[in-house]
């Protein structure tokens, strides 16, 4: 799905696109650190190194900037999940590598999930952003669904495994675990949540003998 902010960005010159990207990146970092409500235009202008007219030219309202940040963070989440070492997230081993990469990340202790943190803040305070939040989560979960679908098609997951439900489980475990990590200053909650979700998914593995575990795949 292409959002209005993404469509607008595609119409810019190279210089304009670079300025817009700099503004969005600076705003995303400030919002991640302080929250949307505690981030103002002056802070964004200073961090991005732009004038007030440049900021308002690209983002006439704070709402338009917050929406662009949501889109940018969702893009980042999707890109990270498409890292070469994860492939198509279509094996037990790839899902385990995905979980381990976040469990080891200090970002989870510092500020939680970049997309989820802002989504949680704006979904109630700014109902107009709900579709952007829903689209970001849908793009994320679609990656899991596709991988799990392929595992089921290859006969690695039993037919009764529901890829959509399992994708919800993975994202919910991630979001809840990330919040608990942030509160505790410890990576144990996220580890327990993700490993628990993976163990449930592995309970649908097709086993070929009494001693066989789930196929770890590629």
Which residues pair with residue 157 across a beta bridge? 205
Per-residue confidence (pLDDT) for residue 218, from 0 to 100 = 43
**What does the mean pLDDT of the chain come to?**
88
Nearest to 65 by CA among 138, 112, 8: 8
Confidence of residue 170 (pLDDT cuts 50, 70, 90): very high
pLDDT tens for each residue of 186-195: 889 999 999 9
Assess whether pLDDT exceeds 60 at residue 137: yes
d(CA 41, CA 15): 21
Residue with tokens 């799990």: 148
Distance CA 158, CA 148 (A): 11
Say what the pTM is. Answer: 0.82
Query: Of 4-8, 165-169, 178-182, which has the strongest mean pLDDT?
Result: 165-169
Least confident of 19-28, 31-40, 148-157: 31-40
Residue ranges of alpha helices (H) inside the chain are 4-9, 14-34, 41-48, 52-58, 62-81, 92-103, 107-110, 114-125, 130-153, 163-184, 188-202
Residues 64-117 pLDDT 10s: 999 999 999 999 999 989 999 898 999 999 999 999 998 988 776 666 788 988
Per-residue CA distances from 24 to 65, 93, 137 (Å): 7, 35, 20
3-state secondary structure 123-166: HHHCHHHHHHHHHHHHHHHHHHHHHHHHHHHCCCECCCCCHHHH
């Amino acid at each position: 799905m292409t959002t209005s902010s993404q469509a607008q960005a595609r119409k810019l010159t190279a210089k304009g696109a670079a300025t817009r990207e700099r503004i969005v990146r600076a705003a995303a970092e400030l919002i991640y650190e302080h929250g949307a409500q505690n981030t103002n235009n002056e802070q964004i202008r200073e961090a991005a190194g732009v004038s007030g007219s440049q900021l308002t030219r690209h983002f006439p309202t704070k709402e338009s900037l917050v929406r662009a940040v949501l889109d940018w963070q969702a893009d980042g989440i999707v890109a990270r999940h498409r890292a070469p070492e994860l492939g198509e997230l279509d094996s037990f081993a790839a899902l385990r590598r995905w979980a381990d990469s976040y469990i080891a990340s200090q970002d989870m202790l510092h500020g939680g999930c970049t997309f989820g943190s802002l989504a949680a803040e704006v979904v109630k305070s700014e109902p107009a952003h709900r579709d952007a939040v829903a689209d970001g989560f849908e793009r994320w979960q679609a990656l899991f669904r596709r991988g799990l679908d392929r595992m089921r098609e290859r006969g690695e997951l039993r037919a009764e495994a529901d890829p959509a439900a399992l994708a919800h489980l993975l994202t919910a475990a991630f979001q809840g675990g990330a919040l608990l990590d942030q509160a505790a200053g410890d990576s144990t909650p996220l580890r327990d949540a993700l490993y628990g979700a993976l163990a449930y998914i592995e309970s649908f593995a097709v086993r070929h003998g009494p001693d066989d575990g789930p196929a770890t795949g590629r």
